[in-house]
């Protein structure tokens, strides 16, 4: 029988602080942001990123506006070492961006870390050791002084190597790993010892990063720890207090927000929250929370489709449709009363007035989205009935995001045709709207080769004309998207992709569904083929055809 016994756990012991001030504070400006997608996020992946994926992700982080980016653990990984060298030797780091690297407080690892950074203009050396009671007693079997000595010796080693490489603008960062599981007064003691070695000044600060390596308590208790730390740490005007929260209790964003109110200056996290176990603090959610309160987050999050597309392609992890601000369905109302309220508020909303629309905390257009309502097919059947019918009759298991796009089309047809629509008519509507990969452009022959990147060479057939296109990417679909984008001078992002075998009929065929963002507009395509690669690139071509047709119709109008 499964054991479910709460008595085996002990409650968190809060820090003693009775005159806390953080509950009365407000977040009025953005913290310093540091992305740890390429290090902490990468180590949490089943399949770590390739060098090419890291390059793509780094470019996204720079475009979004991160000024500090943790790019790896070069002393522990040859791939990370090589990536850091590529960034430096190929001059890939903008002058206003600092790369950050992680190392344990061990001399041989610190030395290797500095080797990786040779020639960097600006860099943050992030050194850490575990300080929690559990790790001290059960892992390292050292007393408090023994653990503090590890931190102090590591800090001295970091300083010595920096003096040997004066051509780089160095910033030192120390983390007492598992800060939340460390007695707060002892964490202050260890950090004070490190600060005493580095002797930072208001003009040349160091970073003290306080990780909730495992989230063990409520956000208010975490804020108490941060306020206590900020009050008692030495040289407070010469350090940046940084937070690195995790999401074990589902409160990573809330803990970071309250930690900022408690006095922290800087936040480490990942785009969309990828990380160990339940994930890291989600920078997109926290930044957009500020944005929704009228605070400039100092990050460019207006092209959410691109962010989602790159994160999914590089991490190979899906983004939940209900993910705050970024999910496919977060601006979609299924309730009729919600739809009605939103419609009325949108009609009432004036451009020169603050945003105030029921059920929509922000204007979807701010992140490149639109308000999508899901309308019932008729009084008897809704979106779910439509999807069930297509799957049962024709084996078409439409993904949720395509159902959202298809429902209004079916609804309109039903209303114009007397309110009744059968399975065959529904299938015809689906084909005419989404299986559009033949005109004006059809796929001819294509070749796919795999090396460091996937490369595709393809023919497009149009009006007895053959057009040659080629591109590279992480997979055939990405490569074909780049090929089309280059030839037609369009910005094409793959937002969603899904495939499955057709379960109805005797032929062994598969169907691919693709959603793209082409120059800021959403298009959905599908294709059926015996080969899934052919199906996927034809589905992508279908979205291009829709874009071309829409542009032609707009010109005629």
Residue ranges for the known binding site for Mg(2+) are: 40, 244, 246, 280
Asked if 495 and 516 count as a contact pair (C-beta separation under 8 A), the reply is yes
Structure tokens at 467: 């057009």
CA nearest to 517, candidates 347, 302, 235 = 302
Is 472 strand, coil or helix? strand
Distance CA 180, CA 130 (A): 11
CA atoms within 13 A on the CB side of 47: 9
Asked if 243 and 267 count as a contact pair (C-beta separation under 8 A), the reply is yes
Hey, how many other C-beta atoms are within 10 angstroms of the C-beta on 118? 13
Binding residues, as ranges, are 40, 244, 246, 280
Structure tokens at 294: 């009228």
Distance CA 243, CA 266 (A): 6
Contacts of 406 (CB under 8 A, 6+ apart): 386, 398, 429, 430, 433, 434
Q: Which residues pair with residue 35 across a beta bridge?
A: 69, 269
- For the four alpha carbons of 6, 10, 12 and 13, in that order, the dihedral sign comes to positive
Structure tokens at 44: 């949490």
Contacts of 71 (CB under 8 A, 6+ apart): 38, 39, 54, 58, 80, 83, 84, 87, 99, 100, 101
Asked if 460 and 442 count as a contact pair (C-beta separation under 8 A), the reply is yes
Asked if 473 and 479 count as a contact pair (C-beta separation under 8 A), the reply is yes
CA nearest to 525, candidates 506, 501, 541 = 541
Distance CA 380, CA 255 (A): 46
Contacts of 121 (CB under 8 A, 6+ apart): 93, 95, 168, 169
Hey, how many other C-beta atoms are within 10 angstroms of the C-beta on 417? 11
Which residue stretches of 326-471 are H helix? 336-348, 383-394, 400-416, 423-434
What's the burial of 329, exposed, middle or buried (CB within 10 Å: 0-12/13-18/19+)?
middle
Distance CA 162, CA 160 (A): 5
């Amino acid at each position: 029988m499964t054991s479910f016994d709460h008595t085996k756990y002990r409650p968190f012991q809060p820090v003693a602080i009775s005159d806390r001030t953080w509950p009365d504070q407000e977040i009025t400006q953005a913290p310093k942001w540091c992305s740890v997608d390429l290090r902490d996020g990468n180590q949490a992946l089943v399949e770590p990123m390739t060098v090419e994926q890291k390059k793509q992700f780094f470019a996204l982080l720079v475009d979004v506006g991160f000024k500090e980016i943790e790019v790896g653990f070069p002393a522990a990984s040859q791939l990370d070492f090589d990536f850091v060298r590529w960034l430096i030797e190929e001059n890939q780091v903008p002058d206003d961006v600092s790369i950050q690297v992680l190392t344990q407080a061990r001399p041989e690892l610190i030395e290797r870390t500095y080797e990786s950074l040779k020639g960097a203009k600006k860099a943050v050396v992030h050194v850490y050791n575990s300080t929690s009671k559990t790790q001290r007693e059960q892992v390292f079997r050292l007393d408090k002084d023994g653990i503090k000595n590890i931190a102090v010796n590591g800090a001295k080693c970091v300083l010595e190597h920096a003096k040997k490489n004066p051509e780089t603008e160095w910033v030192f960062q120390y983390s007492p790993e598992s800060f939340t599981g460390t007695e707060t007064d002892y964490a202050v003691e260890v950090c004070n010892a490190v600060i005493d070695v580095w002797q930072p000044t208001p003009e040349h600060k160091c970073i003290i990063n306080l990780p909730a390596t495992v989230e063990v308590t409520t956000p208010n208790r975490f804020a108490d720890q941060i306020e206590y730390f900020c009050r008692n740490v030495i040289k407070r005007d010469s350090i940046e207090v940084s937070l690195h929260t995790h999401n074990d209790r589902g409160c990573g964003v809330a803990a970071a927000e309250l930690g900022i109110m408690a006095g922290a200056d800087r936040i480490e996290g990942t785009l969309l929250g990828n990380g160990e176990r339940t994930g890291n603090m989600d920078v997109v959610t926290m930044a957009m929370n500020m944005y929704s309160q009228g605070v400039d987050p100092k990050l460019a999050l207006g092209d959410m489709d691109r962010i989602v597309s790159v994160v999914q392609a590089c991490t190979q992890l899906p983004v939940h449709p209900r993910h705050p601000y970024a999910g496919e369905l977060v601006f979609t109302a299924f309730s009729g009363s919600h739809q009605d309220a939103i419609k009325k508020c949108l009609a009432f909303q004036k451009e020169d007035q603050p945003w105030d629309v029921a059920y929509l905390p922000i204007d979807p257009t701010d992140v490149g989205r639109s308000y999508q309502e899901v309308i019932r097919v008729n009084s008897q059947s809704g979106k779910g009935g439509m999807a069930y019918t297509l799957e049962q009759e024709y084996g078409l298991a439409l993904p949720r995001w395509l159902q959202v796009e298809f429902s209004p089309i079916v609804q309109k047809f039903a209303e114009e045709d007397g309110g009744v629509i059968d399975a065959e008519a529904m299938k015809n509507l689906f084909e005419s709207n989404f299986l559009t990969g033949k005109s004006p452009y059809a796929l001819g022959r294509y070749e796919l080769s795999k090396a460091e990147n996937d490369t595709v060479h393809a023919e497009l057939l149009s009006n007895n004309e053959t057009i040659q296109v080629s591109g590279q990417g992480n997979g055939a679909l990405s490569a074909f998207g780049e090929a089309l984008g280059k030839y037609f001078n369009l910005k094409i992002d793959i937002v969603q992709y899904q495939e499955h075998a057709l379960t109805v009929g005797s032929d062994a065929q598969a169907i691919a569904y693709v959603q793209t963002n082409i120059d800021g507009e959403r298009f959905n395509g599908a294709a059926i083929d015996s080969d899934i690669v052919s199906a996927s690139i034809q589905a992508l071509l279908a979205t291009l055809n829709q874009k071309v047709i829409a542009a032609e119709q707009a010109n005629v109008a």
